[in-house]
Structure 1
Amino acid sequence: MENKIEKKYIPLAEYFSSATDDKIQLSFTEIETIMGHSLPNSSYLNKSWWKKTKPPLKHYLAWIEQGYYVTTIQPGYHVTFEKPSSNSNAELDSLENAKNTFITRSIETDDARDLAKLLSKLDAETDFMLYGKNERDPSVQSVRKKITNLRKNNSSSIIVAVVEGQIGGLISISGNKAPRAKHRASIYIGIIQKFTNQGIGTLLLKDAEKWAISNSIQRLELSVCKSNAIAINMFNKFGFTIDGERKQSLKINDEFENEIYMSKLLNI
């Protein structure tokens, strides 16, 4: 795929590759969120850009090679992609059992607004984060600056999960510049509640480990609230071990909370 289409369309190809619905409608904003890049002006102005299936442009391979075709276009608003069904009479799985389509990718500067919204939502949804609801208000400008700085070095990174056209989770990898600590990095993971229990956390951890190894990081570290049994169990399954416990590390809703420190040594 990388040899056929521009790099920026690869996340879109991965999205359609993992999709299970025969008919998908995506807004232009959702498509750009999946890509992590803006669509060209021609896609907003001309329906023919979406219907094109001939070189030299090859963006259409992102969906054509996954069996999807563009059926309707509302310029600037949404595009409908459909896959011919091999059994149009087959019963659909219930919505309750259906899993959301998602991909993971590295953060892009254009994600600043969506990332700021995600951080605020995570703070509001759970008591397991460092900040609570409305305790911080990350500005788009400050988030964009952070992303820009991250993309300039190889000791830190953010990987996001794009779920059904929106950023629904992330894993942050924070490394060290000091020579004696360059081999280790701390990670932070957050997924909004409606997208939990779908394997997103595991995939983010795998991507973080892959990124760490490629950047010569040999030890990943994290801290987690002792009462967050679900997260601790996930980290255990992924090979993290407990290093220790910091008592009364946090004060949440006027109650002290202990933190568990965990780590994983990577084979490089």
Structure 2
Amino acid sequence: MDKSIEKKYIPLAAYFEAATKDKITLTFSEIETIMGQPLPNASYLNVSWWKKTKPPLKHFTAWTTFGYSVTEIKLGYYVTFEKPTTDSTSSTPDQDSNDHPTYIIRSIELDDARDVIGLYQQLFAETDYMLYGQNENNVSVQSFRKLISKWKVENSGTMLIAIINGEIGGAIAIIGSTIPRKKHCISIKMGVLEKFTNYGIGTALMTEAENWARTRNITRLELSVMKSNQKAISLYQKFGFVIEGERKKSVKIGSNYMDEFYMAKVFD
């Protein structure tokens, strides 16, 4: 990746680096979701901004570095990126629906607050494995933005989000402490939308969470998981988490009680 690329376009470059399709159409909203911040006004007003291929501005290297060029633009709506293919039969519209989604993992930004709240509302609606049920957690965008700012200032936690095909489809919250005797320890909570399961998104989020922890001298990771969520338990065990205890009737859904496992991993 071009090291001189402007910082705000690095996530977009990572997206094109991970892409497997020769033709990608992204809406302006999807591009901004990938970046975690708004596009400049010039991108909404001038076709030439997208067609630019010469310095001093170098935003175009986010896609040209990986062989893509802009072939179609509808200002304010969408942009189509294409790169030459060596095999005309390698990608067709019918095959695209069967391809693995393109995704990147990046840290949350203030402009992600509303979309991440929307993600969690979807997660609460489609699974009973989250702490909250549908319409039970109504956090405001303003309060969530304050939490994101606090994470960035204190460096005691964060949220890593998975941008999948231009939308936020999964996230892992990393919650730490500023208490000196607990700074070495973090707890994690992860969720991925059902339509994006079985593509390795959970594994990618866990891997990046561990990387985040290791670079900050974290030595203990903790989480709780419902005993009936065998798929998640298997993933955590693959990463070396062990069951340290069982919490009987720790969650009540309607009239039913659910048990939880308390799991942890300690770095050497």
TM-score (norm 2): 0.96
Q: Distance in 2 between matches of 1:98 and 1:2?
A: 27
Q: Distance in 1 between matches of 2:194 and 2:43?
A: 33
Is structure 2 residue 174 aligned with structure 1 residue 173?
A: yes
CA distances 1:8-63 after superposition (whole Å, capped 9, x unpaired): 11111110111111111101110010011111111111000000000111110110
Q: Distance in 2 between matches of 1:95 and 1:80?
A: 15
Is structure 2 residue 77 aligned with structure 1 residue 83?
A: no
Q: Distance in 1 between matches of 2:191 and 2:157?
A: 17
Q: Distance in 1 between matches of 2:43 and 2:147?
A: 30
Is structure 2 residue 161 aligned with structure 1 residue 160?
A: yes
CA distances 1:129-148 after superposition (whole Å, capped 9, x unpaired): 00001112222222212111
Residue 43 of structure 1 corresponds to 43
Is structure 2 residue 31 aligned with structure 1 residue 31?
A: yes
Q: What percentage of residue pairs aligned between the two structures are identical?
A: 57
Alpha-carbon distance, 1:91 to partner: 5.8
Q: Which amino acid aligns with 1:23?
A: K
Q: Contact 2:43/2:49 (CA < 8 Å) preserved in 1?
A: yes
Residue 227 of structure 1 corresponds to 228
Q: Distance in 1 between matches of 2:97 and 2:76?
A: 31
Q: Distance in 1 between matches of 2:138 and 2:114?
A: 12
Q: Distance in 2 between matches of 1:2 and 1:217?
A: 31
Q: Contact 2:2/2:65 (CA < 8 Å) preserved in 1?
A: no
Q: Contact 1:12/1:31 (CA < 8 Å) preserved in 2?
A: yes
Residue 209 of structure 1 corresponds to 210
Secondary structure in structure 1 of the residue aligned to 2:263: strand
Question: Residues 186-201 of structure 1: matches in 2 within 5 Å?
Answer: 186-201=187-202
Q: Distance in 2 between matches of 1:62 and 1:166?
A: 18
Residue 243 of structure 1 corresponds to 244
Q: Which moved more, 1:96-105 or 1:48-57?
A: 96-105
Structure 2: runs of 5 or more not aligned: none
Question: In 2 relative to 1, CA 65–95 (structure 1 residues): closer, same or farther, beyond 3 Å?
Answer: closer
TM-score (norm 1): 0.96
Q: Which amino acid aligns with 2:62?
A: A
Q: Which amino acid aligns with 1:37?
A: Q
Q: Distance in 1 between matches of 2:158 and 2:10?
A: 19
